[in-house]
């Protein structure tokens, strides 16, 4: 049984920072790409960032480039999303997911497992 558990969400003022974590059990993450998605009320889910199994390849949505950093610690079976310079438009539920490669995460298709999500709220 694979489980992904996100943590680190919360309420922050615009310009602030948060660090999200996604811990996996039941699967060795180093064999899989990992990604972060978000979904705001009334909007479609969007891919935010992705990282390959070894960490050598990363992807960022244009809206978060230069502000968000995805990283992973395969020894701890955890992936992170460092979010800096947060904006009110970053407010959403953030989910982590696994896939066989970053292309699938980038497209948001054929992702194997999903976490339950963590709420991020950025006040203006």
* Residues of the chain under the 70 pLDDT cut: none
For the chain, the farthest-separated pair of C-alpha atoms sits apart, in whole angstroms, at 40
Q: Looking at residue 28, what is its pLDDT?
A: 79
DSSP string, 47-88: EEEEE-TTS--EEE-TTTTTTEEEEEEGGGTEEEEEE-S--G
Q: Looking at residue 8, what is its pLDDT?
A: 97
Query: 57-84 pLDDT, tens per residue?
Result: 999 999 999 999 999 999 999 999 999 9
Q: Looking at residue 27, what is its pLDDT?
A: 74
Tell me the average pLDDT of the chain. Answer: 94
Q: Looking at residue 31, what is its pLDDT?
A: 85
């Amino acid at each position: 049984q694979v489980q992904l558990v996100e943590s680190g969400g919360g309420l922050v003022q615009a310009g602030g920072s948060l660090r999200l974590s996604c811990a996996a059990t039941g699967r060795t993450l180093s064999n899989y790409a990992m990604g972060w998605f978000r979904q705001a009320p009334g909007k479609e889910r969007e891919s935010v960032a992705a990282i390959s199994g070894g960490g050598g390849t990363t992807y960022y949505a244009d809206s978060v480039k230069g502000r968000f950093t995805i990283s992973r610690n395969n020894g701890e079976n955890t992936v992170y999303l460092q979010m800096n310079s947060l904006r009110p438009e970053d407010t959403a539920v953030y989910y982590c997911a696994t896939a066989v490669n970053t292309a699938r995460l980038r497209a948001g298709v054929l992702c194997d497992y999903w976490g339950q999500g963590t709420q991020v709220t950025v006040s203006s």
